[in-house]
Structure 1
Amino acid sequence: MSILLIWAVFVIYPLVFSLFESLKDNKQFMNNKAWSLPQFPLLWGNYSDTWVRYEFGHYFVNSIVVTIGSMVLALILTSTTSYIMARYAFKGRGLIYYFYIASMTVPMMMLVIPMFFLFGDLHLSNSWFGLIVLYAIGSVPFGMFVLTGFFKSLPRELEESAVIDGATHYGVFFKVMLPLSLSGLITISIVNVVGFWNEYPFALMLISNPLKYTLPVGLNFMQGAMQYRTEFGPLFAGVTIASIPILIVYMFFQKYINEGITAGAVK
């Protein structure tokens, strides 16, 4: 219990620290009060300053578009691939499955340079679509690892009954198997959303138009736009704004993450 309490402090403290720092001005930082509580009056104007003057609203909308698009495409690719790997026997299935699993061990940073040239040749650089495709494909191995266990655990009698009632292969998948694996779909969706929302290296590499920056790249650009005078209050306000959606997702869907990963690992 004590270990969990210590861990909770380590997790919560950076969030509280960012909130407190976002309510200060530079004078409080320069007077060696960076670790102290903010002084009254609290500078809530830092948030509006960040949102309007540094065009943080554009970055926020861009991240929402990229995250939702990536999540939808990732669910389509992952669910169909997992279903085939779990329910159909064909030559080389085991080799393909372990190839997917092995790809999870490859550090993403090793792919930055190859992806830069590949997406340039495909004319996918500097576009949201390029990011969406990259994020979705990159999430397939983990999603397949989780969902394959779900599909394997479903009784084959359900498929047979659906076929007897006249369902096609597509009907069995969309009307029977997919609804029954809803908890697994929710689990990988939440994990993917967190990863897509916070991803930085590939977004920095592929997007050069400031109007298309996502939140992580926008924060970095925002700090550069301050030039020789870093405004810590608005900068921490941006960090806090970027953290809020992820916190909300975890608060409302936390139990699905635990249940989904546990159930998918049974097989």
Structure 2
Amino acid sequence: MKPKPARRLGEVAARAGIRIPLIVWSIVVLYPLFWMVMGAFKSNAEIFASPWALPEVFNYQNFIQAWTDYNIGTSFFNSLIVTVFGALLTLLLAVPTSYALERVRFRGSTFLYNVYLAAMMIPMVLGWIPLFFLLMNFNLLNSLIGLILVYAVSQVPFSVFILTGFMGTIPSELEESAAIDGLSPFGTLWRIVTPLTASGIITVTIMNAITFWNEYFMALIFLQSQEKYTLGLAMDYINSEVQYTNAWGTLFAGLTISIIPVIIAYAVFQRHINKGMTEGAVKG
């Protein structure tokens, strides 16, 4: 039986009502990024003469200048170091904590879990001054190691909140079987529970890594020398220099370099992130 024309017209209108706003919003979001990338390949004369046009010749000099003259290369690797090691340290702290809170019942576990939840609601800005003096006392100020520690600790509550949801979906019979086979609690965690929560771990890792890569204010407070700058600080430095040097193409090139890893990471792991957020939404 064919659908009635009025019903089919209503379905088309409903789909258009959903898709058209999404298309418009996508254009609004993507066009500034496209404009920035195109500006990275233009000379200053082209940017001022025709800011909205495509570059006449794709010039890579802006990328070279940003990478060398403005130390984007050093800042890129600094950001890479704090992002990778910060994300790994967060996992090392959050995975055992989540397992203990969710699967190992002990007195005060519920209270401790609520403490982690409450920590997510405390603005990080309230801890910046105490952390500054704490890092200074331990000689970790102006140090990538100190920044890694701050990043990791700041994301542990969020990571615990996400991972406990995943671990709650694992049947307890698997752990009982592992205990019968002679596995210790740590063996059960790393050999049974961790592989089964791979989607959650990937989700938490990518979200934390993106947070660390884009973070600006804590790096501004805890890093003081230019050779320790992360990409956020390097971009701010270039932006402050642009008003005197008119190196807009270099600024756009630096911004393009800084967003490429985030786009690649999200494109590669998008399916895992979506799967992880839906699987961890229901606690078994």
Determine which of 236, 250, 258 is the counterpart of 1:220: 236
Deviates more, 1:119-128 or 1:171-180: 119-128
SS in 2 for 1:104: helix
Given that 2:235 and 2:255 are in contact with CA atoms closer than 8 Å, whether structure 1 keeps it comes out as yes
| Partner AA of 1:118 in structure 2 | L
Question: Aligned equivalents of 2:172 and 2:77: distance in 1?
Answer: 43
Q: Check if 1:9 corresponds to 2:27.
A: yes
Q: Check if 1:162 corresponds to 2:174.
A: no
Determine which of 8, 27, 46 is the counterpart of 2:62: 46
Aligned residue number for residue 72 of structure 2? 56
Question: Aligned equivalents of 2:125 and 2:36: distance in 1?
Answer: 27
Question: Aligned equivalents of 2:25 and 2:125: distance in 1?
Answer: 28
Aligned residue number for residue 196 of structure 2? 180
Aligned residue number for residue 105 of structure 2? 89
Please, what TM-score do these two structures have when normalized by structure 1?
0.94
Q: How does 1:62-211 map to 2 (within 5 A)?
A: 62-211=78-227
Q: CA deviation at 1:225?
A: 4.6
Q: CA deviation at 1:202?
A: 0.6
SS in 2 for 1:153: coil
Question: Aligned equivalents of 2:191 and 2:248: distance in 1?
Answer: 52
Distance 1:10 1:85, change over 3 A: farther
Q: Check if 1:24 corresponds to 2:42.
A: yes
Distance 1:85 1:3, change over 3 A: farther
Question: Aligned equivalents of 1:183 and 1:61: distance in 2?
Answer: 27
Number of aligned positions between the proteins: 265
Determine which of 228, 237, 242 is the counterpart of 2:258: 242
Question: Aligned equivalents of 1:107 and 1:14: distance in 2?
Answer: 30
Unaligned runs of 5+ in 1: none
Question: Aligned equivalents of 2:149 and 2:174: distance in 1?
Answer: 33
SS in 2 for 1:166: coil
Q: CA deviation at 1:196?
A: 0.6
Question: Aligned equivalents of 1:18 and 1:226: distance in 2?
Answer: 15
Question: Aligned equivalents of 1:109 and 1:252: distance in 2?
Answer: 32
Question: Aligned equivalents of 1:147 and 1:200: distance in 2?
Answer: 26
| Partner AA of 2:105 in structure 1 | A
| Partner AA of 2:255 in structure 1 | V
Q: CA deviation at 1:97?
A: 1.1
Deviates more, 1:21-30 or 1:115-124: 21-30
Given that 1:26 and 1:232 are in contact with CA atoms closer than 8 Å, whether structure 2 keeps it comes out as yes
Note the alpha carbon deviations across 1:222-248, whole angstroms, 9 max, x for none: 334557223100001000000000000
| Partner AA of 2:135 in structure 1 | F
| Partner AA of 2:100 in structure 1 | I
CA RMSD in angstroms, aligned pairs only = 1.6
Q: Check if 1:253 corresponds to 2:238.
A: no
Note the alpha carbon deviations across 1:135-169, whole angstroms, 9 max, x for none: 11111111111110111110111111111111111
Unaligned runs of 5+ in 2: 1-18
Q: CA deviation at 1:56?
A: 1.1
